[in-house]
Amino acid sequence: MTSKFLRSILAIAVFSLIFGLTFSAFAQTGSAAPTGSATSPATPAASPTTPAAGTGTKLGTINIEQAVVGTNEGQRDFEALRKKLEPKQNELKGQNDELEGLQKQLQTQGEKLNEDARAALVKQIETKKKSFDRAVQDAQEDAQNQQKEIFQRILQKMAPVIVKHAQESGFGMIVDTSNPWPQSPVLWYGEGGDITKAVVDVYNAQSGVPAPAATGAAAKPAAPKPAAPKPAAPKSTEPPK
């Protein structure tokens, strides 16, 4: 069976790296204006009613994967990417089907072919398999790069929303819960301190992107897999001597 070219979530390592760098940068620039200089429009000074970063006492959580993908903008852009990659998925499926057909021919008719015909068929399978493997790898890398670009673009705009909400709500720390324990150091957390939905709601309101039309259960984009599984290698690909 053909596996999906896009699955449910992006690679967590990429998420953690981008989230950590982006969030810390906004937390630092958003905490206070430089001493002795005019406030920059890009980094406004905190209002008297807004606590400075880190002065709160509460510990909050956010599922950053769910937040980015759950925005109207994320759903729109990842769905557009899925449709964009469909032709390549279909192309790879065609190559896979052709290769499986040749392998089946070798397995069922190999003993009936003369030495030259069997050697030619084996060579054809090897050539097509190498081409297929390269195409799958290239497609994976291309899809992953485009997914990362979407995720990073949205997170770059979401980071100040997270910081502002955390400061105004009295949080001293926000922990990412995208990965369950033991993949992450978070062993347990209660839902009461989770700000994922609140951040998504604020982001959607600011972005102006309308909610996508309902299409059943929302699918989360993910690290791409090959559009088609690699066909099993034949029992023997060496021509008889």
pLDDT digits (tens, 9 = 90+) for 81-93: 999 999 999 999 9
Is residue 173 domain-resident? yes
Is residue 229 domain-resident? no
Is residue 233 domain-resident? no
How many structural domains comprise the chain? 1
pLDDT, tens digit, 9 for 90 and up, residues 162-179: 999 999 999 999 999 999
The answer, as to whether pTM is greater than 0.85, is no
Domain residues for the domain of 90 are: 12-27+55-207
Is residue 183 domain-resident? yes
* pLDDT over 70 percentage in the chain: 66
Is residue 96 domain-resident? yes
Is residue 217 domain-resident? no
Is residue 226 domain-resident? no
Q: What long-range pairs does 199-203 form, CB within 8 A, spacing at least 24?
A: 199/62, 199/67, 199/158, 199/161, 199/162, 199/165, 200/67, 200/70, 200/71, 202/161, 202/165, 203/67, 203/71, 203/73, 203/157, 203/158, 203/161
User: Using CA atoms, how far apart are residues 197 and 173, in angstroms rounded to an integer?
Assistant: 17
Is residue 201 domain-resident? yes
pLDDT category at 215 given cuts 50, 70, 90 is: low
